[in-house]
Amino acid sequence: MKWTDKAWTRIAPHFDRIINLPFNQELLQGSLSKERFKFYMAQDAYYLGEFGKALSTISGRMKDLDQVLAFSQFASGAIVVERALHEGYFKVLGIPDQIEPSPTCLLYTNFLLTKSAYSNVEVAVAAVLPCFWIYKLVGDHIYSLQDGIGDNPYKNWIDTYAGEDFAKSVAQAIEITNQLAENSSEALQEEMLEAFEMATKLEWMFWDSAYRLEKWEI
């Protein structure tokens, strides 16, 4: 059994909860409030910058040069998406340039940065995989349930993650993770599964915190 099959089995219940989150249900219907979408966009721009740095760190730790290249392309892809949010949604929604990360956003990005720098690189790759895979499936799910996608105000966002380019990156990230897992001990594979599950929970928390417009209580 491939590592990613085991990984999926482990997070399947979390994935159902992600799909059913009010944030994603309302995004799908186009009824999500502008205030919540704006909060999410600002936090996601911060997230993408830190995620890009984590991907760069992983790139430099890879042994195989094809994998160095793949992760460096993922890193630049994440920063390009961040820049596009800045040029597009930030202007339209009136988001300030400097973003203070919410508690959950800081928790998630610090988790990714810490794993990318201090864990075995196999574990680091497993920790960033949900960012690819979950977004792809959430994007596809939302896309597949839309008929009149033309009038959904969140169409651009949906298109980014349901598109061809993103699909290629996701397939590549899944393949690299399986290659690394095949050459890893059982114990290391288990550690990869734990990192993958934790990142999946943090994805759930990220959407949930945006819906709640999460604030610092102090």
Ligand X SMILES: Cc1ncc(CO)c(N)n1
* CA–CA separation, 124 and 71 (whole Å): 12
* CA–CA separation, 106 and 135 (whole Å): 19
Site for ligand X (CB under 6 A): which residue of 133, 154, 206, 211?
206
Q: Does 47 bind ligand X (CB under 6 A)?
A: yes
Site string for ligand X, 111-150 (x = CB under 6 A): --------------------x---x---------------
| Interacting partner of 74 out of ligand X, ligand TZE, none (Cβ under 5 to 8 A depending on kind) | ligand TZE
Q: Which residue lies nearer to ligand TZE by CB, 107 or 167?
A: 167
Please say whether the beta carbons of 50 and 63 come within 8 A.
no
* CA–CA separation, 78 and 33 (whole Å): 25
Q: Which residue lies nearer to ligand TZE by CB, 132 or 211?
A: 132
Kindly state the smallest distance separating residue 57's Cβ from ligand TZE, in Å: 14
Please say whether the beta carbons of 47 and 105 come within 8 A.
yes
Among 30, 55, 5, 1, residue whose Cα is nearest residue 174: 5
Q: Which residue lies nearer to ligand TZE by CB, 70 or 180?
A: 70
- C-beta nearest to ligand TZE: residue: 77
Q: Does 74 bind ligand TZE (CB under 6 A)?
A: yes
Q: Which residue lies nearer to ligand TZE by CB, 78 or 121?
A: 78
Kindly state the smallest distance separating residue 138's Cβ from ligand TZE, in Å: 12
Question: Which alpha helices (DSSP H) does 94-163 contain, by range?
Answer: 103-118, 121-144, 155-162
User: Which amino acid, residue 21?
Assistant: L
The sign one gets for the Cα dihedral 117, 123, 125, 131 is: negative
User: Where do contacts with ligand TZE occur on this chain (CB under 6 A)?
Assistant: 74, 77-78, 81, 131-132, 169
